[in-house]
């Protein structure tokens, strides 16, 4: 089946089963109770995944201050995916003009001003600024999550505008960051396979923007910086979709945030990240729309006990 037809079929089955509810904005979805129960099980498994020791757990808001956001370099490389918040700061007169513009069917948003708040693209971006201008005596490890925004509106139920991501991050010496990335390439696929998913590990590149995109993407591939945990949700005849990835950023964030390691070198970082809705959709695509019929071992891994079902 063609990729688009396969997407449409999966989308229809998820909607029919009450797992996904389409919202009026393309790429924005609401989720049903069973979907959330499965997603919670996935999130719990990511939490239990190595590394566990010495890991600081943090849940971030879905926004980053503009200074920090810009410093991550995301706006330079992926402007097509970013979004920012506008707010109303005017007086009564301005308010009346804004309402009049709206009532006349004109663009009322021109009365808003930037809040200097940007939507988070990946939760690991919030960890690096916490160490800005410091020397890391020891590598630091985080387990982080947040709601992410990426402006890539699509009808593909695997590609959302707003989604949740949970990551394990390491920031420290090059050796520690590389070791963390290597660990991710082992434990990431293991975790997904324990849920009955068929996973391939593939070298990958990010969707860089503009004329230099191919050069950046090829550089990332050549340097082996990004490996994705890929599942063929749309059949063997179509390319797979990444459910997670293990990424080595080299000294990118150390340079951006002026973070060093003992001896004076820049701090290096790596992260192991999972898109929670993506993994959940892949589970429904693999095991069927009725969670009560899923294999017992998969239900056990996800904490979907039979008691819970009948309760």
- Which does residue 271 bind out of Zn ion, ligand ATP, none, counting CB within 5 to 8 angstroms by kind? Zn ion
Which of 159, 232, 249, 299 binds ligand ATP (CB under 6 A)? It is 159
Q: Where are the alpha helices (DSSP H) in the chain?
A: 3-16, 33-48, 66-71, 74-77, 92-103, 174-193, 213-222, 252-256, 276-287, 296-301, 306-310
Which of 19, 125, 141, 150 binds ligand ATP (CB under 6 A)? It is 150
Stretch that binds ligand ATP, among 46-54, 102-110, 239-247, 255-263 (CB under 6 A): 239-247
Nearer to Zn ion, 225 or 230 (CB): 225
Which of 259, 275, 284, 294 binds ligand ATP (CB under 6 A)? It is 275
Q: Is-contact 125 68, C-beta < 8 A?
A: yes
Rounded to 5 degrees, what are φ and ψ at 33? -65, -45
Buried-exposed string 155-167: b where 16+ CB fall within 10 A, e elsewhere: ebbbbbbbbbbbb
Task: Confirm or reject binding of residue 242 to ligand ATP (CB under 6 A).
Answer: yes
Q: State the pairing for strand pair 162-172/140-149.
A: antiparallel
Q: How far is the CB of 74 from Zn ion (least distance, A)?
A: 11
Nearer to ligand ATP, 19 or 278 (CB): 278
Which of 271, 272, 283, 298 binds Zn ion (CB under 5 A)? It is 271
Task: Name residues contacting ligand ATP, limited to 96-125 (CB under 6 A).
Answer: 122
Q: Is 166 helix (H, G, I), strand (E, B) or coil?
A: strand
Report the distance separating Cα 298 and Cα 49, nearest Å.
16
Q: Is-contact 166 145, C-beta < 8 A?
A: yes
- Which does residue 275 bind out of Zn ion, ligand ATP, none, counting CB within 5 to 8 angstroms by kind? ligand ATP
Which of 146, 277, 298, 302 binds ligand ATP (CB under 6 A)? It is 277
Stretch that binds ligand ATP, among 56-64, 179-187, 235-243, 258-266 (CB under 6 A): 235-243
Number of H helices, E strands in the chain: 11, 12
Task: Confirm or reject binding of residue 165 to ligand ATP (CB under 6 A).
Answer: yes
Nearer to Zn ion, 11 or 168 (CB): 168
* Nearest-10 crossing angle of helices 276-287, 33-48: 110
Could you tell me the CA-to-CA distances from 203 to 31, 217, 222, 246 in Å, in that order? Answer: 31, 11, 9, 10
Stretch that binds Zn ion, among 12-20, 86-94, 267-275, 291-299 (CB under 5 A): 267-275
- Which does residue 277 bind out of Zn ion, ligand ATP, none, counting CB within 5 to 8 angstroms by kind? ligand ATP
Q: Is 269 helix (H, G, I), strand (E, B) or coil?
A: strand
Nearer to ligand ATP, 5 or 28 (CB): 28
């Amino acid at each position: 089946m063609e990729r688009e037809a396969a997407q449409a079929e999966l989308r229809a089955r998820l909607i029919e089963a009450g797992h996904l509810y389409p919202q009026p904005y393309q790429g924005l979805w609401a989720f049903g109770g069973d979907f959330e129960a499965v997603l919670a099980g996935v999130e719990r498994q990511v939490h239990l995944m190595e590394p566990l020791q010495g890991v600081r757990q943090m849940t971030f808001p879905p926004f980053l201050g503009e200074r920090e956001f810009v410093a991550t370099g995301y706006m330079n490389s992926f402007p097509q995916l970013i979004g920012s918040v506008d707010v109303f700061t005017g007086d009564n007169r301005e308010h009346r003009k804004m309402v009049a513009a709206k009532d006349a069917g004109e663009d009322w948003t021109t009365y808003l001003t930037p809040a200097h708040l940007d939507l988070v693209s990946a939760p690991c971006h919030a960890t690096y600024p916490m160490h800005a201008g410091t020397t890391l005596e020891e590598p630091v490890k985080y387990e982080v999550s947040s709601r992410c925004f990426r402006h890539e509106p699509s009808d593909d139920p695997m590609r959302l505008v707003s989604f949740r991501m949970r990551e394990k991050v390491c920031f420290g010496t090059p050796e520690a960051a590389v070791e963390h990335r290597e660990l991710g390439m082992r434990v990431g696929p293991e975790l997904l396979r324990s849920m009955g998913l068929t996973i391939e590990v593939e070298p990958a590149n990010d969707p860089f923007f503009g004329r230099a995109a191919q050069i950046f993407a090829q550089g990332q591939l050549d340097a082996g910086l990004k490996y994705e945990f890929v599942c063929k949700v749309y059949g063997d005849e179509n390319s797979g979709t990444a459910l997670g990835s293990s990424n080595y950023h080299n000294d990118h964030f150390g340079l951006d945030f002026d973070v060093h390691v003992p001896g004076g070198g820049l701090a290096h970082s790596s992260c192991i990240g999972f898109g929670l809705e993506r993994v959940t959709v892949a589970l429904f695509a693999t095991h069927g729309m009725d969670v009560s019929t899923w294999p017992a071992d998969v239900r056990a891994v996800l904490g979907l006990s039979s008691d819970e079902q009948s309760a």
